[in-house]
Amino acid sequence: MSEMGKAGPVTVSPEAFLAMGREVLAKQPFSILMGAQLNALEPGRCELQLTIAEHLKQQNGFLHGGVVSYLADNALTYAGGTALSVPVVTSEYKINYVRPAVGDRLVARARAEYVGKSQAVCRCEVYAVTIHGEKLCAMAQGTIVPLPEAARPDIP
């Protein structure tokens, strides 16, 4: 008789790991709407970008803060999720907007700075990019936690 135990970790090539991350993004209708792309992904680190476009702006011609928050939050989640190796959800985060986002692309780089059993605390910087270089737009710090069992949300 064979005994089936819990599967151990599977070795995945860096290319396959990034591909898996892109599959997740492709299943998020809102991320498709935002035009988000995953540039890089490794356990505990990611780079996410989107193209700055008219429909993402606010009344002063800058990218809407909500778009910057979206990219930071998604990047924090990828960093924490790949660090914890389980399905995760962002518990909370804080973001400072330091410059309006003006440029061609918005790029978010996040990494898990602390990884424990029940949480990953991650940081992220968001840049507005043009052919002339990058300018820091926002900085975030947030807490990523495993999704409760059976993907049930934490509802009393």
Which residues sit at the interface with its own copies, rule CB under 8 A?
24, 27-34, 54-60, 62-67, 69-71, 73-74, 77, 89-100, 113-119, 121, 123, 125, 135-136, 139-141, 143, 148, 151, 153-156
| Residue 53 amino acid letter | A
Structural contact between residues 50 and 105, judged by C-beta atoms closer than 8 angstroms: yes
Structural contact between residues 112 and 80, judged by C-beta atoms closer than 8 angstroms: yes
Q: Name the minimum Å distance from CB 58 to its own copies.
A: 4
Nearer to its own copies, 1 or 117 (CB): 117
Tell me how far apart the alpha carbons of residues 115 and 70 are, in angstroms, rounded to a whole number.
Answer: 22
Tell me how far apart the alpha carbons of residues 57 and 50 are, in angstroms, rounded to a whole number.
Answer: 13
Q: Name the minimum Å distance from CB 1 to its own copies.
A: 34
Nearer to its own copies, 3 or 92 (CB): 92
Nearer to its own copies, 1 or 150 (CB): 150
Q: Name the minimum Å distance from CB 151 to its own copies.
A: 6
Nearer to its own copies, 45 or 135 (CB): 135
Q: Where are the beta strands (DSSP E) in 23-132?
A: 37-42, 45-51, 88-97, 105-115, 120-130
